[in-house]
Amino acid sequence: MLSNNQFYNNIKWYTVAPKWLVISLFLVGLWKLIEKLLAILNKTTRWIFIILGSLTYVMLILFVEHYILPSVFQSNEIVPIWVIGIRLLLAAILFITIIQSLKTAKEREKFRVENISLQSENIKAQLNQLKQQVNPHFLFNCLSTLRTMVRSNDKQSEDYVLKLSDMYRHILQKRESSIVTLNEELEFLNVYIYLMKIRHEKALFFDIKVSDESMKYSLPVFSLQLLVENCIKHNVASEKKPLHIRIFQNNSQNIIVSNNYQPKITTADSFGLGIENLKTRYELLGLKYGVLVVQNETEYTITLELF
């Protein structure tokens, strides 16, 4: 590669072998150097350091070739040193191109796999949400409440049916979505809260304070409804021990669901997404710490990051 001469026909293999070995080691070192620089440097400074590193490395090998191991290379009298330098730089450019292409392909494959995983989690979330809302327990409770309202000529009966219909319609409309805006999530949550307050009457109290500025931000679909449902499902809620659920913010890029902590002695099996599933969905969206859970003797609080 360095000398490109025809004298090899008259040179024995054991005189050519050292040259091939040294150049092979040079190429391996060059590959590893470029690969390392691509991995550790950010995009703004990456190419400057790669160019400087490659030039330094080539100058080092030329110095070794010309002054330290000329007998090993055996190319001084055949090819000028500047020609060797150009050829080594061309090798460096080729290696940079190959490594960058492999790195780009690897990143694309990683993105593709993560996208498939996110779609899979989204499908699971949709199925779990449908199970949660369509399971016989939920339907029985809603229909039982509706029957009581109709028998007592409750004026809210029609509204109750409409809200229940709105809830199912929203689930079907968002079955393809993995994220929604906070505004859309709160619209769905308000429907769910309405249904729960009719059923539990004076046992549930809600306080929702969310800034208009945050409405444009997004979060995983059905996440707030899941947290509110967990509050109701796992805590005592009665007239004597009412459950207070607060939904508020401490900055515009998060939302907090908090309730007074009064756990039930036994809790029913859950068909919900679960906090762990919600954490996984955040991680797949690139937010490792999107869900923060804080619990003490009197309060249970979950903070969700908005993005």
Q: Find the mean pLDDT for residues 6-14.
A: 58
Do both 101 and 178 map to the same domain?
no
Pairing verdict, β 299-305 and 254-260? antiparallel
Q: In this predicted model, what pLDDT tens digit does every residue of 21-33 receive, in sequence order?
A: 777 777 788 778 7
Do both 179 and 75 map to the same domain?
no
Query: Is residue 125, in this structure, part of any structural domain at all?
Result: no
Do both 299 and 208 map to the same domain?
yes
Q: Taking the chain, what is the end-to-end CA distance rounded to the nearest angstrom?
A: 54
Do both 189 and 251 map to the same domain?
yes
Cβ(296)–Cβ(261) under 8 Å? yes
Do both 82 and 177 map to the same domain?
no
| Domain endpoint, select from 111, 146, 169 | 111
- Which one of 37-51, 181-195, 261-275, 283-297 scores highest in mean pLDDT? 181-195
Cβ(199)–Cβ(148) under 8 Å? no
Residue 290: per-residue pLDDT: 92
In terms of pLDDT, which residue wins out, 204 or 25? 204
Query: Is residue 119, in this structure, part of any structural domain at all?
Result: no
Query: Is residue 295, in this structure, part of any structural domain at all?
Result: yes
Residue 177: per-residue pLDDT: 76
| Residue 18: other Cβ atoms inside 10 A | 14
Q: In this predicted model, what pLDDT tens digit does every residue of 235-272 receive, in sequence order?
A: 999 989 999 999 999 999 999 999 999 988 765 545 44
Query: What distance in Å separates the CA atoms of residue 139 and residue 44, rounded to the nearest whole number?
Result: 57
If you ran DSSP here, which 8-state letter would residue 135 be given?
Answer: S
Tokens representing 53? 């590193």
Do both 296 and 163 map to the same domain?
yes
Counted domains in the chain: 2
User: How many CA atoms lie less than 13 Å away from 197 in the CB half-sphere?
Assistant: 14
| Domain endpoint, select from 111, 126, 153 | 111
Q: Find the mean pLDDT for residues 261-288.
A: 74
Do both 100 and 141 map to the same domain?
no
In terms of pLDDT, which residue wins out, 222 or 66? 222
Q: In this predicted model, what pLDDT tens digit does every residue of 217-237 receive, in sequence order?
A: 999 988 998 899 889 888 999
Mean pLDDT of the chain: 79
Query: Is residue 129, in this structure, part of any structural domain at all?
Result: no
Query: Is residue 130, in this structure, part of any structural domain at all?
Result: no
Residue 79: per-residue pLDDT: 61
Output Rg (C-alpha) for the chain, integer angstroms: 33
Confidence of residue 72 (pLDDT cuts 50, 70, 90): low
pTM here? 0.56
Q: What are phi and psi of 298, to 5 degrees?
A: -115, -15
Residue 12: per-residue pLDDT: 65
Do both 58 and 193 map to the same domain?
no
Query: Is residue 2, in this structure, part of any structural domain at all?
Result: no
Residue 1: per-residue pLDDT: 47
Q: In this predicted model, what pLDDT tens digit does every residue of 92-148 receive, in sequence order?
A: 778 778 877 887 888 888 888 887 777 777 766 655 654 454 455 667 778 888 888
Query: Is residue 121, in this structure, part of any structural domain at all?
Result: no
Q: What is the distance of C-alpha 246 from the center of its chain?
A: 28
Do both 75 and 168 map to the same domain?
no
pLDDT exceeds cutoff 90 at 212: yes
Do both 53 and 198 map to the same domain?
no
Tokens representing 61? 């090998």
Residue 144: per-residue pLDDT: 85
Q: Find the mean pLDDT for residues 66-71.
A: 65
| Domain endpoint, select from 111, 146, 177 | 111
Helix ranges, 235-264 (H): none
Query: What distance in Å separates the CA atoms of residue 271 and residue 41, rounded to the nearest whole number?
Result: 46
Residue 10: per-residue pLDDT: 58
Query: What distance in Å separates the CA atoms of residue 77 and residue 48, rounded to the nearest whole number?
Result: 34
Tokens representing 69? 């191991």
Helix ranges, 201-236 (H): 223-234
Do both 287 and 180 map to the same domain?
yes
Residue 76: per-residue pLDDT: 45
Do both 151 and 286 map to the same domain?
yes
pLDDT exceeds cutoff 90 at 306: yes
CATH assignment of the domain containing 245: 3.30.565
Query: Is residue 117, in this structure, part of any structural domain at all?
Result: no
Tell me the residue range of the domain where 11 lies: 7-111
